[in-house]
Amino acid sequence: MTTRFTTVKSRVEHIKAPVADVVADSSAIENTVKDVIAAVRERGDAAVREFSERFDKVAPETLEVTMAERLAAVEALDPQTRADTEFAIANVSAFAKAQLATLAPLEVELLPGLHLGHRIIPIETVGCYVPGGRYPLLSAPIMTIVPAKVAGCDNVVACLPPNAHEAMIAGCHLSGADRIFRVGGAQAIAAMALGTESIPQVDKIFGPGNAFVNEAKRQSFGPVGIDQLAGPSEIYVVADDTGNAELIATDLLAQAEHDIRTRVGLITTSRRLAEETLAAVERQLLDLPTAPTAGQAWRDYGEIAVCATEQDMIDYSDFIAAEHLQVHTADAKEFALKLRNYGSLFIGENASVVYSDKCCGTNHTLPTMAAGRYTGGLWVGSYVKTCTHQFLDPEGVEQVAPPAIRQSASEGLEGHRRAAAARVK
């Protein structure tokens, strides 16, 4: 099958190509999740507890975290960890407020007597899924909960696995969650989508998770909104001959330690840099404590592509549409303007993905699996609705009724024609 990217791929030479396809057969996951959703719909909290015991080996008697437990989790935080968490919350909140300021209500008189406009309305109740994962990722609740509070959502519900580190509860509390529940996996998504005796039904669900969480979001979409469907994490670097192989290798492996299915890659016009980066990755893996994870991700999904021209490098980067895209070129700011498809852009060698992942202020919940071709990442605008309205005075009716009457008649929609004509004197 020929696509618009066919010729792009043919112009790339691989020093290292991926050896595995990140898209796996998900039929078994689909069936399991379907059963989970059906059970939660039918039996509510009882089903949630059963699945928690089955999948997480923990069945908490009380699903909701009490205020006393929340405060105890905060109190137990190491002082420096709390200070760093609050630093990240402040930055994410400040950036979200700046973004929200770019969204404004609109009122315009398009024609005499025809008044149109829109309002920016926060979503009333949102659910934030906070993954457990291999490590207690303290930035995870910040990225989904803080923008919701900045947007003005009335009710922010957080769910996290019952075996998640207590510091994650503290993170949810400090980020501003109104209610926190010890429920993880597909059953958490089902509970928030459907509502149970304990867990309120939400209007939209946010946050990444494992394949079961992702599938539950997919199957729940419609009656409830979702932010996006997340695949394994990704990082790519576009670089010319000025790139630093050791630094690039360090950044690639930093992201690769997330998961064995992380996609990492370098796209460059420099064969020298490509070969040096390949050697640097292998060398750094020798003493990286997380090498069992990062090394497998590199072996299976790592990529180093050499392009003949700068335009080929741009085209191939836009084809990949990486979740995280770092720019290591001689004039990184100028080069960045030429790139179109990515989740978030990291301009220049100083802009490491790790800073955004943790605390610099931009959101780390980003599109993967080439979704950067059509959408951006999570932001405060994801938590509001832009809803239009219209008001017509008699002069406005005179402007729009005649063409509406004629169009309705030509379409054979008599009810429409009558409705349009009813306002005409």
Comma-separated ranges of CATH 3.40.50.1980 domains in the chain: 27-226, 231-376
Q: 131-149: per-residue pLDDT in tens? A: 986 667 889 999 999 999 9
pLDDT more than 90, % of the chain: 92
* pLDDT higher than threshold 80 for residue 6: no
Dist CA 72 CA 301 (whole Å): 42
The residue among 371, 379, 234 whose CA lies nearest residue 297 is 234
Dist CA 50 CA 70 (whole Å): 24
Is 323 marked active-site? yes
Number of CB atoms found within 10 A of residue 301's CB? 23
Superfamily of domain 231-376: Nitrogenase molybdenum iron protein domain (3.40.50.1980)
Q: Which of 215, 257, 323, 349 is catalytic?
A: 323
| Confidence (pTM) | 0.93
Give pLDDT, residue 376: 96
Q: Which of 258, 324, 328, 364 is catalytic?
A: 324
DSSP notation for 263-321: EEEEEES-HHHHHHHHHHHHHHHTT-TTHHHHHHHHHHH-EEEEESSHHHHHHHHHHH-
Both tokens assigned to 307? 């392009």
Q: 204-231: per-residue pLDDT in tens? A: 999 999 999 999 999 999 999 999 998 8
Is 411 marked active-site? no
* pLDDT higher than threshold 80 for residue 22: no
Class of domain 27-226 as given by CATH: alpha beta
Q: Are 213 and 180 within 8 A, CB to CB?
A: no
Residue range 299-310: mean pLDDT, rounded: 97
Residue range 404-420: mean pLDDT, rounded: 97
Beta strands in 359-417 (DSSP E): 384-392
Place 425 in a pLDDT band, splitting at 50, 70 and 90.
confident
360 SS3 class: coil
